[in-house]
Amino acid sequence: MSDCRCVVASRSLLWLLLVFAAFGACLTGFLSPEWLKGGSSVQSGDTSGARSTPHVSREIGGEQKVGPLKKCAVRQLDSVVVCLFLTWDEFESAAWKAAVVLQGGGMFVVLLALLLGVASFWKQNLGRFNIVSIAGLMEGIAVPLLAAGLAVYPLSWSSDSVRSVCGGSAGDYDLGECSLQWAFYAMTCGALLTLLGCLLSPRAAKACNSHLVEEKIRLGKSCICVM
């Protein structure tokens, strides 16, 4: 079978859309501060042991939000919401750094799988291996990375940056006065979609190398669409 033909199968296209949705959900959740939200009561409540994060937590009040990469707060002077990305040194615990590395690494692998999925329309095989199958294997590698990142991140909730948002009662796997927000669930949904994509990749790979595809190639067609 030639490797230079455009082959679009409905199952492979649906699989690719699933991978795209998984990457989009993970990326949106990863970059958003909407993981933990603390209200104004935290600022006036017991925050013993909590230290304000540089740049963001000075002269603030009201609602605050913090995620793996970003923190937001309302400035008291003019009620403007200030959001800043945290630096590596502001990830105050090894667990926080590990969560960022694991989630970032998992998303990078999903991105590679997505790019391979796009390339599979024009080049179906890489050596003896189907490209969609390789992408599915990469998704299988990404799933435990994303899951581990989600599992490790709550170990950072005892850090001063999180306690400045969630109160002094916050600790490992303890939200304190915070609540989980949509970005956490977006990352979780992205990990689940990645797992689903991994499970469905064999069917997508089979659709690209079906007998119908081979027959159309023998007929000399260069652009092949199959259901």
Write out pLDDT tens, residues 45-69.
444 444 444 444 444 456 789 999 9
Buried b (16+ CB within 10 A) or exposed e, 93-123: bebbbbbbebbbbbbebbbbbbebbeebbee
Q: Is the pLDDT of residue 121 over 80?
A: no
Mean pLDDT across 25-30: 96
Q: What is the largest CA-CA distance in the chain?
A: 75
Annotated domain spans of the chain: 6-220
pLDDT (tens digit per residue) in 159-218: 888 898 888 888 999 998 999 999 999 999 999 999 999 999 998 888 766 555 555 555
Mean pLDDT across 24-51: 72
Q: What is the pTM of this model?
A: 0.80
> How many H-runs (helices) and E-runs (strands) does the chain carry?
7, 9
CATH architecture of 6-220: Up-down Bundle (1.20)
